[in-house]
Amino acid sequence: MTTTIAVSDEVKEKLLKVASQLQIRFGRRVDFDEAIRYLLSEREMVKDQRLLEEACRPVPDADKVARETIDELYRERRLDEERLERKLGSRRKRSG
37-77 confidence digits (pLDDT tens): 999 998 888 888 888 788 888 878 888 988 999 999 999 99
Q: Are residues 20 and 31 in the same domain?
A: yes
Domain count across the chain: 2
- The answer to whether residue 2 sits within a structural domain is no
Q: What is the pTM of this model?
A: 0.50
Tens of pLDDT, residues 6-15: 999 999 999 9
Q: Are residues 69 and 33 in the same domain?
A: no
Q: Are residues 52 and 24 in the same domain?
A: yes
Q: Are residues 48 and 17 in the same domain?
A: yes
Query: What is the DSSP annotation of 42-91?
Result: HHHHHHHHHHHHHHTSPPTTHHHHHHHHHHHHHHHHHHHHHHHHHHHHHH
